[in-house]
Amino acid sequence: MKTVKFIIFLICFFSAAVVMAQTAEPEDLQNDKTEIEQAVSEKSDENLSLPKDYQITLGYFTDSRFVAANGILFNKLGYDLYYKLISPHMPQTLGMFIEPVWNTLVTFHFTLWPHETGHWCRANQAGGNFIMTKYQFPIPVMKMIMPEDGAKPEQEALMSSGGFEINNLMRRQTEYDFYLHGYRYAEDMGHSFIQSIFFPMYTLLFASVDAKKTDTWKNSYGDPVQYTKIIFEHYYARPSVTTENKTDPDLVDLYNEIFWVNLAVTFLDPMLYQSAAGFTADYKTAPLVQNPWFFGDRMFGWMFSLQFNPGALGYEVYIINHFRINKKYVALNIRYGRPFKNYGFGVFMPEIIKGDTFSLGTAFDVFNQDLFGAGFGASLIPAYHIGKNHKIALDISYKTKGYILGRKLEEGAEFLLHTFLQL
């Protein structure tokens, strides 16, 4: 088994090297950039400053999308606070020490607290709660309070994985914005990078366990262990520890499968290496990250990314295709999940109609899942533009019963209000 793991590990890293080798743009794309991409690539202008956009989202506190959107916003504001208000008045020598500490704490806390709030969202949706019992800097001690009438296994799975859902939602929103606008600021990309590696980092550093030991499953130490146990017992309909006090070998296989699939998806994802550039940027002189990688030209371009998500029916893997068609951005994601049957696809078109004062976006998901059957989710996002730098958008969503990343399991409508500012 160790030999197999080592081979998979090597494949991941060699494949990652191949992906990184694709950073050079095709010649026709280099000669045919959009105006924004040309501006981003002009390194000679030290005063270059493309608009920085701020998305303020209002909605239900228990809506995971509300938490994710504002996690990105507060991370951005944390960086602005330092570079616009604190750093200009700080001696350069002192700033050399304060800057990395400040940036680390901002990114850490606006990864951690949205993650914890994700557990709270899913617990409240199921009729339970998730509270902090003790704060030990920098990580709080949390406690899950189950619903009085008990939670369904799929709800319990989401209560355990709700934190990682938020990490995935934050990463996905940044990714969509990156390809839509053609650039992102370094703090957004660095934040996205942490969301990408949070699951394997959590598994390896914060909750490293021996899956074969029975104590691992009796104590359910850490989100990945607890989540895998819930999915296993729900799918196989038997306890994780046998009557002979041994760990069920199928449970060990499932835990290892989840870990290694996540690791492979993480290192094969081109977005991982694009977002990593956020940590190498000089925030004071050149805060912009390069434009996204695309194969093709401005009329028709394509690139892909990968995403791993622990959901209600087991883990799922997304292949997200980013298209630029006649200067419009379209995202097509295809997903496959197991151990429960879970496959489908989704389309996101943020600007299917675009005018001076009005634009319309839409999203559509179709799925076929164990427990829920075939279903769909749809969103309309009308936006009203107030001048060049401000717009208000209403996200009107409806879905049938089933699992879609960040959405409630039940059938019904949901609403979010977004205000976008460009400064």
pLDDT tens-digit map of 159-213: 999 999 999 999 999 999 999 999 999 999 999 999 999 999 999 888 888 999 9
93-145: pLDDT as tens digits: 999 999 999 999 999 999 999 999 999 999 999 999 999 998 887 788 899 99
Q: Which residues contact 334 (CB under 8 A, 6 or more apart)?
A: 318, 319, 321, 344, 345
Residue 51: inside a domain, yes or no? Answer: no
pLDDT value for 279: 76
Number of folded domains that form the chain: 1
Predicted confidence band at 289 (pLDDT cuts at 50, 70, 90)? confident
pLDDT of amino acid 30: 41
Kindly give the interhelix angle for 249-268 and 223-236, rounded to the nearest 10 degrees.
120
Q: Is pLDDT above 50 for 9?
A: no
pTM, full prediction: 0.89
**Two tokens at 210?**
């021996």
Cβ pair 56, 72 in contact under 8 A: no
Q: Which domain holds residue 340?
A: 60-422
34 belongs to a structural domain: no
On whether the CB atoms of residues 341 and 352 are closer than 8 A, the answer is no
Residue 210 lies in a domain: yes
Q: How confident is the model at residue 281, as a pLDDT?
A: 76
> Does any domain span residue 271?
yes
Q: Does the residue 404 lie in any domain?
A: yes
Which residues face 363 on adjacent strands?
348, 379
| Cis before 339 (ω within 30) | yes
pLDDT at 228: 96
In a domain, 118, yes or no: yes
Is 216 domain-assigned? yes
Sign of the alpha-carbon dihedral angle for 257, 259, 264, 266: positive
217 or 10, which is more confident?
217
What pLDDT shows up at residue 412? 96
* pLDDT tens digits, 35-77: 555 555 444 344 356 889 999 999 999 999 999 999 999 999 9
**pLDDT over threshold 50, residue 257:** yes
Confidence of residue 299 (pLDDT cuts 50, 70, 90): confident
Residue 55 forms part of a structural domain: no
